[in-house]
Amino acid sequence: MEYVKATMKEIVAFIDKVIDMLKPEQVNTLIDSLIDVYRRGAKVLVMGAGRSGLVGKAFAMRLMHLGFNVYVLGETTTPSIGEGDLVVAISGSGRTRLIVTAAEAAKKVNAKIAAITSYPDSPLGQIADVVVEIPGRTKTAPDIDYFARQILGIHEPLAPLGTLFEDTALVFLDGVVVEIMHRLGKKEADLRARHANIEL
């Protein structure tokens, strides 16, 4: 269990640090954009690739529970989007080709783009109307051998690849859901009423 506990502690500590790094104006703009779409009955399209896509699906599910008209890119029942709709694009690097291409297509039909990324100056960040910067993996081992890294005190995070971004984005978006609940006057019972009642 040594690595299980150590990795969990590292992830929790990282998320705790990111909480204080969030930029209130970015977060409030995202929340205001979501509430505006909700009140107008417009569509929200959530997209991400790989594990970021799984984070997006979890967020989309909660938005559905809140009564949003929400869809996930790649699902067979996802309709077209257009002017007045909101696209929430999740990509730590902001360079994932599929997501950047989809965001460009959404921009051409005048949908609003909100990017959740570690790199606001990335291609996705430059396309977006709203950017929320969520730091991800902020250090990787330089290209020097193991013993040199140990002597210099340079260590890679225990959590591999994009884990820190993905976990932080998931927790952040869960916080966004709760903020929206309170702003819209929704209760947990309202969400429960929209939860799937036919499950395997």
Structure tokens at 119: 């790199």
CB 187 within 8 A of CB 73: no
156 carries an active-site annotation: no
Q: Alpha-carbon torsion 168, 190, 200, 68, what sign? A: negative
- 45 strand-pairing partners: 71, 87
2-191, CATH topology level? Rossmann fold (3.40.50)
Q: How far is CA 50 from the centre of its chain?
A: 12
Whole-structure pTM over 0.85, yes or no? Answer: yes
CB 20 within 8 A of CB 130: no
Question: How would you write the pLDDT of the chain (200 residues) with one tens digit per residue?
Answer: 888 888 888 889 889 999 999 999 999 999 999 999 999 999 999 999 999 999 999 999 999 999 999 999 999 999 999 999 999 999 999 999 999 999 999 999 999 999 999 999 999 999 999 999 998 864 444 444 544 444 455 556 666 677 889 999 999 999 999 999 999 998 888 778 888 777 66
- Phi and psi of 47, rounded to 5°? -145, 145
CB 85 within 8 A of CB 108: no
Which conformational region is residue 26 in: left (phi greater than 0), alpha (psi within -120 to 50 degrees), or beta?
alpha
The residue annotated as part of the active site, out of 156, 166, 188, 199, is 166
Per-residue b or e along 74-94, where b marks 16 or more CB atoms closer than 10 Å to that residue's CB: eeeeeeebeeebbbbbbbbbb
